[in-house]
Amino acid sequence: MKIHEYQAKQILREAGVGVPRGIVADTPQAAADAFGQLGGQLAVVKAQTHSGGRGKGTVKDNPRQHSVEVVGSPDEARQAAGNLLGHALVTVQTGPEGQLVRRVLVEQGCRIERELYLGIVVDRAAAMPVLMASPQGGMDIEQVAARTPELIYREPFHPDAGLRSYQARKLAQKLGLSGGATRAGEEFMRRLCRVFVNRDCSLVEINPLVLTGEGALLALDAKMSFDPSSLFRHPELRELRDLAEEQPAETRAAEAGLSYVKLDGSIGCLVNGAGLAMSTMDLIQLHGGAPANFLDVGGGANLDQVTEAFRILLADGGLRAVLVNIFGGIMRCTTIAEAIVASYRSVGFQVPLVVRLEGTEVDEGREILAASGLNIITAEDLTDAAKRVVAAAG
């Protein structure tokens, strides 16, 4: 689960991790007021959306307006906010339609001496969280990793012990911190690691971490995302969820216990099992078609779920055919076939439906489909299913 920059900074603030003073605004006037409240010197107006790459983002119908603007007066703050709020921000991650900006963060400006990088993820191979630090802040960290990987320092830490003092000291030295900033940096890193553990994060990224002219360390940007499997034990994080930033179809599917990801193609897929669903998408592409989605109906696949899955799929106006690929192991093919027939009738299909069933009671399942009198194309095997649905999509 992702959250906005201003929410991440609030979490850090509460944990005693240095962040600039900032106020969220959802109208241009509120942005002007925020400027005043911050002491009225220099401020930064920052568009708040979940998408990455915001630093280089621009407004869709006004490409000269960037997602981050330095302002020197309440009027400038009002102007910048007005250009951002209610407009679509386009970044490398949003696609050309962009993402609607509903809030801006008005943040106190600071004098930047140096820009550093800190990031924390769980290293899968080591099965341990790892803090990554680099003196090359303010840049795309993947570029740093590609060009100068030796400038990314890594310290794994155990969730219970946290980052140890000696690890923090090592990294502070590698980051070139000196004087008062050394201890401040060590404390910053230790607290950041504690936040990662306490909130069950999947990612925390501070880029850049700035050393100000006054010798303070502040997270100029903060990105946080959370392990979805841990949200049951974080009611405070569930409240931070912003449904407006999510794809409605994906949200709707999740509520029904389905896993759905929208893609760009014209062939809808309904499959039981994530691996089988991914490889069904691959199979369609191999035979010259374009999958419209990933959809894992899970181990249950009862009548309600299949019906809801079809409704979600068919709400996609660009759909030209649907492939149902089910391997019934414990789940019987007869149950699936009955669900398909009932859903087909209640949802009302406008596009060709190809069904490939295999597994327990497969012959009886195919019988049910054939006897239904509905326009359902039954496929023999996977290859046959892919070819038929690609042909049906035209």
Partner 1 sequence: MSILIDKNTRVLCQGITGKAGRFHARQCLDYGTQVVGGVTPGKGGERIEGLPVFDTVEEAVRQTGADATMIFVPPPTAADAILEAADAGIRLIVAITEGIPVLDMVGACDVLRRGKSRLIGPNCPGVITPDACKIGIMPGYIHRRGPVGVISRSGTLTYEAVWQLSRLGLGQSTCVGLGGDPIVGTSFVDLLAMFQDDPQTEGVLLIGEIGGTAEEEAAAYVRGQFRKPVAALVAGRTAPPGKRMGHAGAIIAGGRGTAAEKIAALQSAGIQLAQSPADMAAAMQRALQRS
Write out the catalytic residue numbers.
Answer: 117, 205
What burial letters (b/e) apply to 44-80, b meaning 16+ CB within 10 Å?
bbbbbbbbeebbebbbbeeeebbbbbebeebebbbbb
Q: 3-state SS of the chain: helix, strand, coil percent to 5?
A: 40, 30, 30
Minimum gap (Å) between residue 243 Cβ and partner 1: 17
Total residues belonging to the chain: 394
Kindly indicate which of the ranges 30-38, 75-83, 120-128, 347-355 contains the residues binding partner 1, using the contact rule CB under 8 A.
120-128
Q: Which of 63, 179, 235, 275 binds partner 1 (CB under 8 A)?
A: 275
| Contact region with partner 1 (CB under 8 A), list: 8-16, 76-84, 306-314, 382-390 | 382-390
Closest CB to partner 1 among 24 and 269? 269
**Which phi and psi angles does 138 have, rounded to 5°?**
75, 5
Number of residues that bind partner 1 (CB under 8 A): 54
Crossing angle between the packed helical segments 74-84 and 28-37, to the nearest 10 degrees? 140
Q: In the bound complex, what is the minimum distance in angstroms from residue 240's beta carbon to partner 1? A: 18
Residue 276 touching partner 1 (CB under 8 A): yes
Task: Tell me the HSE value of 247 on the side-chain side, using a 13 A CA sphere.
Answer: 14
State the burial class of residue 321 (Cβ atoms within 10 Å of its Cβ: 0-12, 13-18, 19+).
Answer: buried
Looking at 283, 313, 336, 339, which residue binds partner 1 (CB under 8 A)? 283
**Is residue 256 a contact residue for partner 1 (CB under 8 A)?**
no
Instruction: Give how far the C-alpha of residue 325 lies from the chain's centroid of Cα atoms, to the nearest Å.
Output: 27
Binding region for partner 1 (CB under 8 A) out of 65-73, 77-85, 334-342, 377-385:
377-385
Cα–Cα distance for residue pair 158/143, rounded to 1 Å:
28
Strands 201-212 and 88-90: unpaired
59: nearest Cα among 77, 86, 35:
86
Smaller CB separation from partner 1, 74 or 273 = 273
Task: Select the residue interacting with partner 1 from 82, 137, 185, 273 (CB under 8 A).
Answer: 273
Among 63, 124, 236, 317, binds partner 1 (CB under 8 A): 124
Select the residue interacting with partner 1 from 246, 359, 372, 391 (CB under 8 A): 359
SS3 category, 372: coil
Q: Which of 97, 125, 235, 394 binds partner 1 (CB under 8 A)?
A: 125
Report residue 107: phi and psi, to 5°.
Answer: -125, 145
Enumerate residues 139-168 that contact partner 1 by CB under 8 A.
Answer: 142, 158-160
Considering beta carbons, is residue 214 or 363 the nearer one to partner 1? Answer: 363
Binders in 304-333 for partner 1, by CB under 8 A: 327, 329-330
* Residue 214 binds partner 1 (CB under 8 A): no
DSSP string across 138-164: SS-HHHHHHH-GGG-EEEE-BTTTBS-
- What is the rounded CA–CA span in Å between residue 69 and residue 71? 6
98 touches partner 1 (CB under 8 A): no
Q: Which two tokens stand for residue 212?
A: 């100000």
From 37, 41, 62, 93, residue interacting with partner 1 (rule: CB under 8 A): 93
Name the segment binding partner 1 (CB under 8 A); options: 82-90, 117-125, 162-170, 214-222.
117-125
Q: How many Å apart are CA 205 and CA 222, to the nearest integer?
A: 6
In the complex with partner 1, the residue whose CB is nearer, 92 or 371, is 92
Q: Is 279 in the site for partner 1 (CB under 8 A)?
A: yes
Complex with partner 1: residue 351 or 382, whichever CB lies closer: 382
Q: Which residues bind partner 1 (CB under 8 A)?
A: 93, 121-122, 124-125, 127-129, 142, 158-160, 197, 200, 202, 227-230, 232-233, 259, 261, 263, 271-286, 291, 294, 296, 299, 327, 329-330, 358-360, 381-383, 386
